Amino acid sequence: MSPVVPVPAPVTARPAQPYVRVRDLERDLTARVDGEVRFDPGSRGAYSTDGSNYRQVPLGVVVPRTVEAAAEAIAVCREHGAPVTSRGGGTSLAGQTCNVAVVIDWSKYCDRLVSVDAGARTCVVEPGIVLDVLNARLAPTGLMFGPRPSTHSQCTLGGMIGNNSCGSTAQAYGKTADNVSRLEVLTYDGTRMWVGATDDEEYARILAGGGRRAEIYRELREIVAADAGEIRRRFPDIPRRVSGYNIDQLLPGGDFHLARALVGSEGTLVAVLRAELHLVPAPAAESLVLLGYHDIIAAADAVPRIAAHRPLQLEGVDDKLIDYERRKGMHPDAVKRLPEGGGWLMVSFGAGSQREADERARALTDDLGGTEHEPHVAFFDDERTEKQLWELRESGLGATARVPGMHETWEGWEDSAVPPERLGGYLRDLRGLLEEYGYGAASLYGHFGQGCVHTRIPFDLVTADGIAAFTSFLGRAADLVVSYGGSLSGEHGDGQARGWLLPRMFGDTVMAVFGRVKAVFDPDDRMNPGKIVAPYRVDENLRLGTGWTPADPRVHFGYPEDDGSFQRAVMRCVGVGQCRRHDGGVMCPSYRATREEEHSTRGRARLLFEMLGGHADSPVGDGWRSEAVRDALDLCLACKGCKHDCPMNVDMATYKAEFLSHHYARRLRPAAHYSMGWLPLWARLAAFAPRTVNALTHGPGTAALLKRLGGVDPARSLPVFAGARFSDRYRRRGPRGSGERGPVLLWPDTFTDNFAPRIGHAAVDVLEEAGYRVLVPPRTLCCGLTWISTGQLGVARRVLRRTVRALTPLLRRGVPIVALEPSCASVFRDDAAGLFPHDRDVSRLAEQTRTLAELLTGTEGWEPPRIGGTAVSQPHCHHHSVLGYDTDRRLLERAGVRLDVVGGCCGLAGDFGFTAGHHEVSMACAEQELLPAVRAAGPDTLVLADGFSCRTQLEQAGTGRRALHLAEVLAAAGRDRAEGTRAGATRADGSGTRADQAGADATRAGTDGTPPVRDGR
Ligand SMILES: Cc1cc2nc3c(=O)[nH]c(=O)nc-3n(C[C@H](O)[C@H](O)[C@H](O)COP(=O)(O)OP(=O)(O)OC[C@H]3O[C@@H](n4cnc5c(N)ncnc54)[C@H](O)[C@@H]3O)c2cc1C
Ligand code: SF4
Ligand code: SF4
């Protein structure tokens, strides 16, 4: 049936895109939009893809400062006929946010929480606000936004509205559409309006108002009413129908809820300027039950009975996913807690009190006892364990994306959904289909309580045959899910991945309705064209594809986990976007400081991908010489946070070193590379006349000049060389003590040796007291760190080779190497093996390198002296990413210290914070966690930091506090112990030891027997 009054013809095919004069467009946007307008190769490359298999290079990017500015940007685009694509966190998995369009990035500035009405349980937000940020701000009201995708720490509300996002808590709270009350929207033609539920009175008022708004309402009503029967028949009544436009919200007899109808329209109909959201009370307590079944299908069969208990979350995980997590060493503690089985359900209950939540969980386990498939049960009600287990589930995509020894996996059939009561049957058939196509390695997991299944599939997206199989599989899988009364997408949206398959689910009539709805809002198809309606084919615009011919250049590092290939290493990034998180872990300090895609791990990985020239339209055309890539890497602190925190272990610090090496090959480098990159050499020379050098580097006339010549930021003060190097003094002194536990080599790194020899001496005291015979190398050696971080890899290799040769006799005797500076320990443990992947002595070096805490806690019978009191500790980033900090934490706790461990990065990171132009970002990183924590610390609280950079940052940030190395507090407390100073002699809690005094006022150090802070003793 067709509408009775004239309505626009449906958009069914993509019209030819108008010729856009890109330079003129850029000029007008720059002139009229309050925001950042970027048409440079770096920005276009960074925004060319999202979490999907697709890639399209945008015309340019606009980052508006306000929603008004965004509206102006759309007006300018309209005048030029340019398509527009909205973007939040860019975590879409179906290609929704890549397009040949002007990308509007709402996430940087348009992220305000406009208002909260706690009584009405609503709030108004701008679209760029991140879900976790919103919920953190709402926390004092006890309310939260209910739906919670796995990407909660980086996805935006605009993106959630765009995709109609769900996540595990949708079990209790429904999809985003169910939680949106009103939207302020803007159409391509400039119509701006608030929309929401529309009763007859309101409808009449809108029509009486006339104009474009009335036209939109009238046409939509006509279009949907005309085919209401077919819409009702074709829209499956399941909890997770996300595919298609939500035209069921506009059916006669309902609320005519235009806001909810627009949720899930993926930026193809309107831009969302503001949203009024429904909030729910945040559960005060939660309990988690894990149920182990024979396999995932048995687990799926059990879903309806469990769902009847109305859990908060009901998730499924199969044995393959767990196997992949095990193989990748992910979440080892959580994996151990799974009950016996080959398929698991995770069921959580929320309530006002822990007792109530526990009772609900017990009611479930009682109910399941004695059933046909009685599961193995494990029950948890402590927050830490529950968090670990949810992380295990939420990292499903990362765990399955690249498994060692397995073909890479891809999205494509990521989130199909069926009626929950038919889930077991669907999984049986889907597994059969996967096997038939040779995709049997795909794991199956997801939001089982709502029938939604996640999987990444080992598609071949490079060869013609592989892509034909991919396309054919998607067709068959679509038919299968439809035969079960399901939806192609149950969570992530259609985008390009499903748009082409939608007719199989909805049929021609409903597809024509979608086309008409599109025509009502955007008849010329300028809003995110090619997605949902009139879509691109599933095999167009592939990120790889048959035309993809990337370079695989000869490189310096070995990339052993990427088959020795830099190109494969760069491809690790799958676009999850965790590097855009605002807190937790370390990754990615430069994104947190700048909020720029280009300065996130993902943005950098994208640009390196583009740089390898796999696609003819790549905006990065000049390979290793690319300035766009260099600029994106410039603010990378080489903290290696990503190597640990990224689910794909992207190691941007290594890629940066590799890039810089090629970029500057046979060319003049920035001054900082010669000054700070060659620091070990300059320090060696300075040791001949340290006082003179200090006078020059800090002299009123000379300091500024030297900093300018050395590419050092003028706001920085150069470190002071000690009067005597640790290694020189120690060589003169020689080993003492019993040495009964045998030799250790104490590594005199450049920083300890030249700037903080007191730490070396303290370490000697501690090691000798523990019974070790301390050795230092007979001559000055170096790990090569400063050359690695500045990409002078030829020199770094020579330096490191020389060091390994000198240490070889000790290494072959199994002598442990104690490294006091975490970044040097990290070179020995990690980078060295990358530079010399097949060298046995380098492997020995990696295996035998210990931090002080590791050596001491592994020493049988060694007990730490009592330190007591409280301490704020900043682990070095390389503790976080390579070495681990748990051993230090346990040691300090055994020594009676109440420890507050600060997360994040100090922001100095070797040469980074010293380099001219980096000061602002460096300080912004420090302000994220370290500086507030230290400022808040009481005067008696110790401040601990093993990294020279972290200590220097604190010293130069004007906190008035000096941080101590673990060696210093242990040495001071050890002397107390030796002298019989009784713990608690100065304070009732036993914190008044000498170590504690050293921390409380390090500037007084040296007067009471603790080592002086600045100079060597
Ligand atoms: C590892 C992984 C796990 C995921 N898990 C889940 C999950 O559990 N549940 C779930 O639902 N999804 C999940 N997703 C998909 C995705 O993260 C979510 O859909 C998320 O809500 C998207 O938010 P975003 O800010 O990244 O949006 P984007 O990807 O930037 O955009 C999403 C859509 O919204 C549109 N849009 C953005 N802002 C606006 C605006 N102001 N006006 C109009 N349109 C706009 C965009 O054009 C696009 O079509 C997952 C993705 C990944 C990579
Ligand atoms: S770098 Fe890692 S965390 Fe960031 S998007 Fe890529 S895969 Fe995700
Ligand atoms: S090394 Fe650090 S700064 Fe660089 S991309 Fe990784 S997390 Fe970000």
pLDDT per residue over 37-75, tens digit each?
Answer: 999 999 999 999 999 999 999 999 999 999 999 999 999
Which residues are 274's β-sheet partners?
Answer: 184
Is 83 in contact with 104 (CB distance < 8 Å)?
A: no
Residue 6 clears pLDDT 90, i.e. is over it? no
Q: What is the pLDDT of residues 666-696, one digit of tens each?
A: 999 999 999 999 999 999 999 999 999 999 9
What one-character-per-residue DSSP string does 902-957 give? --S--S-TTTTTTBTT-HHHHHHHHHHTHHHHHHHS-TTSEEE---HHHHHHHHHT
Indicate whether residue 601 lines ligand 2 (CB < 6 A): yes
Indicate whether residue 150 lines ligand 1 (CB < 6 A): yes
CA-wise closest residue to 581 among 66, 144, 65, 107? 107
CA 577 to chain centre: 5
Distance, CA of 63 to CA of 66 (rounded, Å)? 9
Mutate to test the pocket of ligand 1, among 52, 62, 165 (most ligand atoms within 8 A of CB): 165
Which ligand 2 atom sits nearest the alpha carbon of residue 605? Answer: 1
pLDDT score of 175:
98
Which ligand 2 atom sits nearest the alpha carbon of residue 652? Answer: 1
The protein residue whose alpha carbon is closest to atom 5 in ligand 1 is: 150
Q: Which residue has the higher pLDDT, 329 or 588?
A: 588
pLDDT score of 4:
56
Q: What would the two tokens of residue 91 be?
A: 């975590």
Instruction: Name the helix (H) or strand (E) containing 125.
Output: strand 122-125
- The helix, strand and coil proportions of the chain, stated in percent and rounded to the nearest 5, come to 45, 10, 45
The protein residue whose alpha carbon is closest to atom 22 in ligand 1 is: 159
Indicate whether residue 648 lines ligand 2 (CB < 6 A): yes
Which residues are 36's β-sheet partners?
Answer: 63
Q: What is the pLDDT of residues 209-263, one digit of tens each?
A: 999 999 999 999 999 999 999 999 999 999 999 999 999 999 999 999 999 999 9
Q: What is the pLDDT of residues 251-294, one digit of tens each?
A: 999 999 999 999 999 999 999 999 999 999 999 999 999 999 99
Which ligand 1 atom sits nearest the alpha carbon of residue 397? Answer: 1
pLDDT score of 1012:
30
Which ligand 1 atom sits nearest the alpha carbon of residue 396? Answer: 1
User: What is the 412 CA–ligand 3 centroid distance (Å)?
Assistant: 29
Indicate whether residue 58 lines ligand 1 (CB < 6 A): no
Mutate to test the pocket of ligand 3, among 579, 631, 642 (most ligand atoms within 8 A of CB): 642
Indicate whether residue 653 lines ligand 2 (CB < 6 A): no
Mean pLDDT rounded to a whole number for the chain: 93
User: What is the 335 CA–ligand 3 centroid distance (Å)?
Assistant: 28
Residue 1011 clears pLDDT 60, i.e. is over it? no
Which ligand 2 atom sits nearest the alpha carbon of residue 575? Answer: 5
pLDDT score of 401:
86
Indicate whether residue 95 lines ligand 1 (CB < 6 A): no
Q: Map tokens 């796995």 to a residue.
A: 150
Phi, psi of 105, deg, nearest 5? -95, 110
Residue 880 clears pLDDT 80, i.e. is over it? yes
Distance, CA of 104 to CA of 184 (rounded, Å)? 17
Q: What would the two tokens of residue 96 be?
A: 């929704």
Indicate whether residue 571 lines ligand 2 (CB < 6 A): no
Which residues are 84's β-sheet partners?
Answer: 102, 527
Indicate whether residue 605 lines ligand 2 (CB < 6 A): yes
Ordered strands of the 942-944 beta sheet: 898-901, 870-873, 942-944
Q: What is the pLDDT of residues 897-924, one digit of tens each?
A: 999 999 999 999 999 999 999 999 999 9
**Cα torsion for 333, 334, 340, 343, to the nearest 10°?**
-140
User: What is the 218 CA–ligand 1 centroid distance (Å)?
Assistant: 30
Q: Which protein residues are within 6 Å of ligand 3, measured from CB?
A: 587-590, 601, 604, 636-642, 652-653
Residue 595 clears pLDDT 80, i.e. is over it? yes
CA-wise closest residue to 787 among 645, 940, 881, 681? 681
Mutate to test the pocket of ligand 3, among 576, 581, 592, 601 (most ligand atoms within 8 A of CB): 601
HSE, side-chain direction, 13 A CA sphere, residue 524:
14
Distance, CA of 314 to CA of 164 (rounded, Å)? 19
Per-residue H/E/C for 84-104: EEEECCCCCCCCCCCCCCEEE
Distance, CA of 439 to CA of 432 (rounded, Å)? 10
Secondary structure (3-state) at 835: helix
Which ligand 2 atom sits nearest the alpha carbon of residue 401? Answer: 7
Q: Which ligand is nearest to the CA of 640?
A: 3
pLDDT level of residue 380 (50, 70, 90 thresholds): confident
Q: Which residue has the higher pLDDT, 15 or 806?
A: 806
Q: Map tokens 């006091």 to a residue.
A: 820
pLDDT score of 381:
81
Which ligand 1 atom sits nearest the alpha carbon of residue 130? Answer: 25
User: What is the 339 CA–ligand 2 centroid distance (Å)?
Assistant: 31
Which residues are 530's β-sheet partners?
Answer: none
Q: What would the two tokens of residue 83 be?
A: 């398509």
Which residues are 461's β-sheet partners?
Answer: none
Indicate whether residue 51 lines ligand 1 (CB < 6 A): yes
Q: What is the pLDDT of residues 451-508, one digit of tens each?
A: 999 999 999 999 999 999 999 999 999 999 999 999 999 999 999 999 999 999 999 9
Indicate whether residue 579 lines ligand 2 (CB < 6 A): yes
Indicate whether residue 266 lines ligand 1 (CB < 6 A): yes
Distance, CA of 748 to CA of 605 (rounded, Å)? 35
Looking at residue 454, the DSSP 8-state letter turns out to be E
